[in-house]
Amino acid sequence: MAQRSGPPPIVFIVALLALLGGGYWFFFKRDQAPTPVGANAPVDTTQTSPTATTRNTPPNTPTGTNTTISAAFPLPASVPTGTSVRIDGSTSMVTVNENLKQGFQRQFQGTNVSTNAGGSDKGIQDLIAGRVDIAAVSRPLTSQEQAQGLTGVPIANDAIAVVVGKNNPFSAGLTIAQVADIFQGKINNWSAVGGTAGTIRVINRPAISGTNKSFQELILKGANFGTTPNIATLPRDATTPLLQALGTDGIGYATYAQVANQQTVRVIPIDGLTPDSSSYPYQRTLYYVYKNPASPAVQAFLGYATSTSGQQALVIGN
């Protein structure tokens, strides 16, 4: 009898099983493989909506803040040459103001935006008095301010960082309760928080500061700052003098974007979290405030600031 040629039946069985196994992996298991970290990783869009988007936060700002940045006014197709916009307010928003100023003037040739940073309260006072067109404010408006015809527009998300001098021997973190006690004068020695014995010098911002008010609301839960001898209040709201005053035994606070890349200070973790964490506790929203009815120049600038191109200017500028 003639012998059959070709591979034995077992070969076909093995091949069939391999084919079936490969098909099962392809259709059912491939989506369960680990996703690589990097540019090809999926983007979490749970904070976005069709009509309002969470701002793409620039480097050194927290990604956990989720206040949506909605269009305050339509983005203008053109802006008349000679249009000018005057802005004053929060020292925390110096970089925000500058980035949007440059972007607006670049997109709409012949316009001029002037900026100043005298503090949130001064910006609001100047706005009410008609000395500026927009107030940059690092806190929500009060009911009294809203009653005067003022409207706040969310522009960006931010975090308040607690900082010490780079050469301060204290290198640990603090809890939320410890930070509150330090700034209320209940804790005044570094040894009480695990550091070397020595007085904690608290460097506070003046009451006109929007960051001061935000800190009081977020950290002190509305309570007053302490008045103990170790607490000093700066005469004006400015971050550079505050950082210079820290020395080796001081503690203070500032908007994170202004201290993240500083070489002379160190950011203190709060409950183990740094300001770039999505769960960091001291987060807030920054606003542009205008007086109703908004002028065409204000509408144009705010339309730009809250548009996709304006928000991209914030990212690129940083």
Measured CA to CA, the distance from residue 265 to residue 167 in angstroms comes to 8
- Cβ neighbours for 202, distance < 8 A, ≥ 6 positions apart: 182, 183, 185, 226, 230, 231, 232, 250, 251, 252
Rg of the chain over Cα atoms, rounded to whole angstroms, equals 27
Residues 213 and 75 reside in one and the same domain: no
Question: Do the Cβ atoms of 268 and 131 come closer than 8 Å?
Answer: no
pTM, entire model: 0.69
Residues 266 and 295 reside in one and the same domain: no
Extended beta strands in the chain, E state: 53-54, 68-69, 84-89, 112-115, 134-137, 150-165, 201-204, 231-233, 250-255, 265-267, 283-291
Q: At what angle do helices 120-129 and 210-218 cross, to 10 degrees?
A: 120
As for how many domains the chain has, the answer is 2
Domain annotation covers residue 221: yes
Measured CA to CA, the distance from residue 77 to residue 60 in angstroms comes to 32
pLDDT by residue for the chain (318 residues), tens only, comes to 444 455 555 444 444 444 444 443 333 333 332 222 222 222 222 222 223 333 333 333 333 345 788 999 999 999 999 999 999 999 889 999 999 999 999 999 999 999 999 999 999 999 999 999 999 999 999 999 999 999 999 999 899 999 999 999 999 999 999 999 999 999 999 999 999 999 999 999 999 899 999 999 999 999 999 999 999 999 999 999 999 999 999 999 999 988 988 999 999 999 999 999 989 999 999 999 999 999 999 999 999 999 999 999 987 544
Here the CATH number for the domain that contains residue 255 is 3.40.190.10
Residues 77 and 142 reside in one and the same domain: yes
Residues 307 and 240 reside in one and the same domain: no
Domain that holds residue 199: 159-283
User: How confident is the model over 90-113, as pLDDT tens digits?
Assistant: 988 999 999 999 999 999 999 999
Question: Do the Cβ atoms of 173 and 268 come closer than 8 Å?
Answer: yes
